[in-house]
Amino acid sequence: MNSSNRVAIVIGASGGIGGGCVRQLCADADTQTVFAVSRSLEDASPLNIASGKSKLSLLRSDSSKASMLRVVEQIRTQLPIGGQPEFDIVIATGLLHNGSLQPEKRIDTLDRESALDVLETNTLMPMLWLQSLSSLFGKNVVARVAVLSARVGSISDNQLGGWYSYRASKAALNMMLKSLSVEFGRRFPNVKLLAYHPGTTKSQLSAPFSSNVPSNKLFSSDFSAERLVSVMRDQPLDKTLSFVAWDGAPIEW
């Protein structure tokens, strides 16, 4: 396939990893168009794009179904004319904490409303985005889709406990992605799904918890983005879900 037909879509472009992916993909010579989707970006200035800014299309969306569908239609109308696009799709949304919500250390602190917020943001929102984006796919469309998961969503890897809502939301996301990979294997055999653990990236999400992370394991958003794009593009079109870390190593479920 002609590399000039490569199209990137980044959901959650205003976050640390999402913004890094936008910069990485705009600078990539093989990428023709980059759609950056965010609820908060008014212009590209917060993204600090050094090169390839002419490729960028900023799209705004909230969490409603109507807004997602509108964004997908905007993408469809801006796709390159001639030739079948090859998609690199990154879904970089997530919730770990906010002003009133913190990861639970004990079962005593588990709160119904907070847990539901985490599950909706980390599990349902990526799946609803994939539901809408799937209208861009077809039998012959090649796409690689990286959805931000986390190692703490691994049941077998859980040796520390705690973080009830966040762990559960990522484990549930992995299960839903697995089911989707089975469905896509039948409907869209050239669409590859990836549950991706980016490691710890310097961002608002990780800031309260990064003091205990070794300096060589605390990544810049640009390094995290470079690794994500590289690992995603290395994935075979094998009609299954892969759960992998930033270094390409598989993670146990």
User: Domain range holding 181?
Assistant: 3-245
Residue 92: both structure tokens together: 């970089």
Q: Could you tell me the CATH number of the domain that includes residue 83?
A: 3.40.50.720
Domain membership of residue 96 (yes or no) is yes
Residue 207: both structure tokens together: 């800031």
Does the predicted TM-score (pTM) go above 0.95?
Answer: no
Domain membership of residue 251 (yes or no) is no
Q: What is the pLDDT of residues 114-164, one digit of tens each?
A: 999 999 999 999 999 999 999 999 999 999 999 999 999 999 999 999 999
Domain count, the chain: 1
Domain membership of residue 116 (yes or no) is yes
Q: What is the pLDDT of residues 24-42, one digit of tens each?
A: 999 999 999 999 999 988 8
Element (H, E) at 35: strand 31-38
Q: How far apart are CA 99 and CA 18, in angstroms?
A: 22
Residue 173: both structure tokens together: 């996301």
Which DSSP letter does residue 43 get? S
Domain membership of residue 252 (yes or no) is no
Q: How far apart are CA 123 and CA 125, in angstroms?
A: 6
Under a CB-based contact definition with an 8 Å cutoff, are residues 153 and 244 in contact? Answer: no
CA atoms within 13 A on the CB side of 213: 15
Q: What is the pLDDT of residues 77-121, one digit of tens each?
A: 999 887 789 999 999 999 888 777 899 999 999 999 999 999 999
